[in-house]
Structure 1
Amino acid sequence: MPPHIEVDLKLCTGCRTCEQVCVFAHEGVFGPVRARIHVLRRDVLTFEAKVCTHCAEAYCVAACPTGALARRGKKTVFDAELCTGCGACVQVCDLLFWDEEREQPLICDLCARCVRRCPEKAIRVVK
């Protein structure tokens, strides 16, 4: 499996610090809308984390008609200049998120800031 972010849901408290850190690191603002990682509450104490796994199948890459999403080594990378905003990538993968304002996908770039800032140490980079 390629390097990716993994969340231990037994340790995750659903505080969503990872989302805030992600948005601030990439956008310079706070607010979860443009986060590349999302923590969803499924029950009172049950959470689900969604973040790109940079999977080998890379259905998002195959779906992208312009090459805006591509594989570079074991990572999936995004080139905003090539993106036409068709949304095909997010239609085939629920681990990518859509930026409505910019009309482009939001994909984890493995910066690992969420890993360093998680108060519960529930997030790690798997290599």
Structure 2
Amino acid sequence: MLRKLLTILAILCAAPAAAQNFTTAGEVRPILDMTRGSWVAIRDYGGKDLIYFTHLLAWRCGLSEIRYGLNGAAPNTAFKMEACHEGTAQPNALSGDDVYVTQPAGSVTEVRVKLIYDDGSSEEARFARDAILMQ
């Protein structure tokens, strides 16, 4: 964990802030690669499973789309992303709270995620419930 944190800090400090706003695939891909285990999370709350996409949304400016699938389904469902705030000091800031989808309590056993970057490349990951369940 410490090694990942130090690597992320090195990336963040590698270029002047004005030159790197983390708004392109080339800028966010290394961070998302290193933090793959944090892409999504499940929270059992209020009689529902809440599947959070907060981490991905924080780096959405380098993405053109986030897709997901539940319980073995292909990641074909698009997750609606807030637009980037280009031209502001914090283009990746979130202004809304649409960061999760809901399902019946205990029903989500697996989440598949597909990221489509703004350069057209993509990558997928699969997460078992136990690996991403928030306690």
Please, what TM-score do these two structures have when normalized by structure 2? 0.29
Structure possessing the higher relative contact order (Cα contacts under 8 Å, 6 or more residues apart): 1
- Answer with 1 or 2: which has the greater Rg: 2
